[in-house]
Amino acid sequence: MDRTLKAFSLILSYPTRELQQAMPEIGAVLASDTRLTAAARRALRPLVDDLTQRDIYELQEAFVMLFDRSRTLSLNLFEHVHGESRDRGGAMVSLVETYRESGFDPATSELPDHLPVLLEFLATRPFAEARDTLADAGHIFEALNTRLARRESHYGAVFAGLLQLAGGVQNTEAVAEMLAQPDDDPTDLEALDEVWEESEVLFGPDPNAGCPQVREMLSLMDTPVNPAPRQAAE
């Protein structure tokens, strides 16, 4: 088990009191991983402190405003590629098959392309394989890091850390395309409602979906599209 990837998976999950209780151990894992630079480990401390000490309801509200009500900060990775198209449904089916073939059965109601779910899976794989998969999504991590920095959010340090584990950004052009999209206003509920009323994701069998490898699916992320949000966590 790669404890750092598991730690990042937990940190990017919806905040709970159980997570708060585990934060001292999670913080210790991140502080001791020399694959991250000293600067990257220091940058993670404010987030670790927030998740440890801040009021749980404030943490949950901030999380929802960032990741659930901001399309451009979605933690569902395929939204940054396929939006709500049928292609996303086919990729989702293939990703589920990859998880099952590897004996991975996430106990969550989140979609399989939800980043904490993917990180939990990668934590069970050899690091070389996990690093290659992270590299394929590196431009998404860079765009999310930049957008979070604009909002002065400590969560950006997680994506900076993931980028280091991935070996850096591979596709700067894709980053520029993503950042060219306007930031969402999470308080504009009318605009969000309009997006949620768009076509739903289709998860049925797709004759063009058959690739069992996570890397091959994530490699499709080179051409980002305007993403759509997932509904706020209950």
Q: Where are the domains of the chain?
A: 68-222
Q: What is the pLDDT of residue 85?
A: 56
Residue 28 vs residue 175, higher pLDDT: 28
Q: Which alpha helices (DSSP H) does the chain contain, by range?
A: 3-11, 17-32, 38-53, 56-63, 79-82, 86-101, 115-122, 127-136, 138-150, 156-166, 172-179, 189-196, 214-218
What is the per-residue pLDDT across 211-226, written as a single tens digit (0 to 9) for each? 334 455 444 443 333 3
The pTM score is 0.79
Residues 210 and 90: their CA atoms lie apart, in Å, by 8
Window from 14-28, 90-104, 204-218 with minimum mean pLDDT: 204-218
Residue 208 vs residue 91, higher pLDDT: 91
User: Average pLDDT, stretch 196-212?
Assistant: 39
Of the pLDDT bands very low, low, confident and very high (cuts 50, 70, 90), residue 168 is confident
